A and B are shown apart, each in its own frame.
Chain A
Amino acid sequence: MPGSPPAVDPPIGDRIGPLDVAGADVYIETNDSDFADELRWAMTDLATAPRPAADQVVYRTTRRTVPWVLWSTLRDGQPCELTMNERYVLFHQQWELNRLMIERTPNALHAAAAVVDGGAVVACGASMAGKTTLAGWLASHGGKYFSDEVVGVLPGGMVSGFRRPLGIRHHGPLGAQLTDAPRLTSRFHDYEMLVPPSSLGATIATETSVPVRALVMPTVDLNEPSRATPLGQAEALVALADGAPGLADHGEQMFELLVELVGKVPCVRLSMNDMDQAMTVLGESIGWSP
């Protein structure tokens, strides 16, 4: 409108963090208080006390309204993404943390994990296979949440984790457990929500690394009863390799770790329908009582 003063976007007013991402202290700065509130909630389980000796990574994620509404993210001053819409920005922020986690995890595996009886049930597979659902369900039904999206494979059949928020769908098994109603209508959510596992009643594992108890390749099949099928080591190894960005980066070392892993623990293909039933058949196949 002629004569109106130009719109001015608010300055950076919120700083979230530090968040623990593979030992780095991560901060996220923003000029949108709603986004800051959403981040504080979603990233609750990644929060850590400041560690003076840790590497620091600072993201600056800002909302601009001139000439139109758009979001941008910088990492340590370097542009990551400059033209995001509002429903994408939270997921992009999480994606940036995933990328940082993979960068800092030498033998990264695309997997989710929960700890039961002191050992990690590691769920591997393609996107939408049910990894998050399985880990989130185990963590909120007697287990402890250990990781989603990235698991680091360590020597001796051990893994390290990433306590990132879970990406869940409103009508999925985990979505039904979310009782914090205001979060269901957030302007930063789309078909998926980012929720801290603790908000689903999950206990959060505090261990840095744990031994693997079982490797599980989940799938969702709503037409058949849940069932667990033992998987041969070769088939499991190939499935793990499929989700191992570390295999390209760290080659033979990662291959050796995966060979060691499939030789140490039971490998199971788990077809999930009803989740209680799925836990029962999984428990029977890995010697665990849900």
Chain B
Amino acid sequence: MTASLDRLLAPAEHIRTEIFTDAGFDAVLFDRQQGGVIRLAGAAAAVWSMADGQTTIAQAIDELADIFGQPAAEIRADALDAVQLFDRTGLLIDSPPTAEPEHDHGPPRRDHHGETDYLARPPDP
């Protein structure tokens, strides 16, 4: 699915999220269907933390730009990469049904990190 900027970021119902800020900014997701966990770190975790079912991709980019003090244009590429990752792994409620999980054998246990480090530190509360 194309990552249109006005698309809502809404987690799929079978995904449960735990956010950790003790060592950077991480999201650990529990996949109720597969019985496994997925770790998102850096940019991917920051974008995922905005996925509340009410925030659009554009709003998430603006908010993250505000939090991290970076130009929205700089955040945008990473955010779109993150959304593509979410779609590939079926994490969003409207991820394409053809999305193939990366884990064909056994429960998933994946670590995903953002490409850039400006999102690696936790957002200010």
Contact = CB atoms under 8 A, between A and B. Distances in A.
Interface of A: 230-235, 237-238, 241-242, 247-249, 251-252, 255, 259
A65 to B, nearest CB: 41
Given A241-B36, A241-B37, A252-B30, 9 more contacts: A232-B24, A233-B22, A234-B27, A235-B39, A238-B109, A248-B107, A251-B30, A255-B16, A259-B28
A10 to B, nearest CB: 44
Contact of B37 (A230, A249, A255): A255
A235 B110 CA distance: 11
Given A241-B109, A242-B109, A234 B20 contact: yes
A231 to B, nearest CB: 8
Scoring A242, A252, A255 by chain B CB atoms within 10 A of each residue's CB, the highest score goes to: A255
B20 A232 contact: yes
17 contacts: A232-B23, A232-B26, A233-B23, A234-B18, A234-B26, A235-B23, A237-B37, A238-B28, A238-B37, A238-B111, A241-B37, A247-B107, A248-B36, A248-B107, A251-B32, A251-B35, A252-B16
B41 interface: yes
B20 A248 contact: no
B36 A234 contact: no
Interface in B27-58: 27-28, 30, 32, 35-37, 39, 41
A235 B40 CA distance: 10
Main secondary structure of the interface of B (DSSP, over half): strand
A231 B24 CA distance: 11
Contacts of B22: 232-233
Interface of B: 16, 18, 20, 22-24, 26-28, 30, 32, 35-37, 39, 41, 107, 109, 111
Contact of A234 (B28, B30, B107): B28
A247 B23 contact: no
Contacts of A251: 30, 32, 35
A233 B39 contact: no
Contact of B41 (A233, A234, A247): A234
A57 B26 CA distance: 45
A56 to B, nearest CB: 31
A235 B41 CA distance: 10
Contacts of A233: 20, 22-23, 26
A137 B11 CA distance: 45
**Complex A-B, nearest 4 residue pairs according to Cβ-Cβ distance, in ascending order:** A232-B23, A234-B26, A248-B35, A234-B20
Nearest to B40: A234
A237 B26 CA distance: 11
Contacts of A234: 18, 20, 23, 26-28, 39, 41
Given A251-B32, A255-B30, A238 B39 contact: yes
A139 to B, nearest CB: 30
B21 to A, nearest CB: 9
Contacts of A238: 28, 37, 39, 109, 111
Contacts of B23: 230-235
Nearest to A241: B37
B47 to A, nearest CB: 16
A235 B26 CA distance: 9
A221 B103 CA distance: 30
Contacts of A235: 23, 26, 39
A138 B2 CA distance: 55
Nearest to B19: A234
Nearest to B24: A232
B60 to A, nearest CB: 21
B122 to A, nearest CB: 11
